[in-house]
Structure 1
Amino acid sequence: MKKNGYVTLGNTVMHYVAFGDGAKKLVVLPGLSDGLATVKEKAWILAGSYKKFWADYTVYMFSRKEDMPDGYSIKDMADDLALAMKSLGIEKASVLGVSQGGMIAQCLAVYHSEMVEKLILAVTAPYANPVLKDAVTGWIDMARRDDHKTLMIDTAEKMYSQKYLDKNRKIFPLVAKLTKPASYDRFYKNAYAILDFDVRDELSKISAPTLIIAGSDDKTVGNDAAAELSDGIKGSDKYIYDGLGHGAFEEAKDFYDRVLEFCER
């Protein structure tokens, strides 16, 4: 099964894609890229990474809702996600949050703990640390200047390993041309929510079994974020990909195998 769908939330909608036919549920939350393009109508494109989940799981990937008010926070995003999950009959699920999606996942596990069976936090942080603030404020400034090419190149430079960059750097300008949004409003609201995020004092409330995945050279959230999460979430497991950075979830060939193994553990 591959499905493109949406949930109505008040006067707006939240888009999602779903794939797989299993009884178990995995909810996936993407990062700040969702501020530039949602998952709408992308089920066939996004399903491939989760092929090994299909038999036993139904995988749901949620965007943030379409119309976000000013001051929309990470906690607000988690509250709306909980409403969307319930409307689809998802009472409890394993949750994989990547980057900003990992921040939403942390809030879901803190404030809606009954809905989180297992928690996987990938390349994310418990607050907007100096490295993360520097990256996000820089991207906001590039968007304000309408310099999408520089925004995409800088994002890539802060995301991927040197090996990946050397191989793919020449295609970044083309990617920039194909990904420029009609408006940056959605991007700004997601980005400012990151800058206001801080759940360090709430991490001890997370009771779900938790796996933290990071790269050893993360130029987006910094290299201390995984340890801060691990220290704050009692009994959590941690895995660091040596030599990879913020794009570990794309570059590491065993990333999704590792997520599946943890979900099945």
Structure 2
Amino acid sequence: EDGTTTVSGFEIAKGKTYPKLKIKTASNLCPGEYTFILGLKGTTDKEEYPSPLIVIGGGGGGGGAVILPQPPLEIPETDTGEVVATPGEGGITTLTNPDGSEIKLTIPSDTVSQNTNFTIDVTDVSSVNRPEPETGLFLIAGLVYEIKAEVNGEFITSFNKALTLSFTYTDEQIEGLDEASLKIYYWDDIQNQWITLENSKVDMDNNTVIASIDHFTLFALIGLKTVSPEEEKIGEEGEEETPRGETEEKIGEEE
């Protein structure tokens, strides 16, 4: 990232840093053992990294040279539903529900231009309108999530890259639903309805649904009820069953 690079207190470069940095010492440097301190200061807090021990021998000619290895990147990752993503590494956070299901947000590197605080919170389902009952849509576990990004108290709404959102679910949660129909939906404030994320993909082997997102709002995992011939007949007579899963909530149910 853009910033200032110093070695042992001497400024040697400004601008973009590189994976490898070659430092050539002065020709009159006394023979001996040296450790150089590489300092980086830019969009993140200042960090310092010591070089390996360098032995400089005597004799004529130019000074010695050392290549400082880039410290390994550490992606910030939490299991609290809150993470500070950095420009160079991004970040990952997971929020786990009491029933074992999870929601996970992955922020790739270069998504944000400065350290950004991302949060996932469970929100009150009654804060949004619900589709008509005849849509057959069901809210998995009755859970709606709000995702936010903030920098110094200001909400961030646009990003340099798409982020990845994934949900896991239990077999009990989707009992009576068509597993292949599971998709991640987002709440549209203008249309006042749930909109499907068409890039949602369900992995039925691992009970996971994943999608890419480019904006933040309310999100939920939603699926369709499995309809059998017997249920179709019952529906024609004006009676309709609900899925057997106790943790499922039908969207559009009368208040």
The answer, yes or no, to whether TM exceeds 0.5 is no
Answer 1 or 2: which has greater strand percent. Answer: 2
Which of the pair has more CA radius of gyration? Answer: 2
The TM-score normalised by the length of structure 2 is: 0.22
Structure with greater helix percent: 1
- TM-score between both structures, scaled by the size of structure 1: 0.22
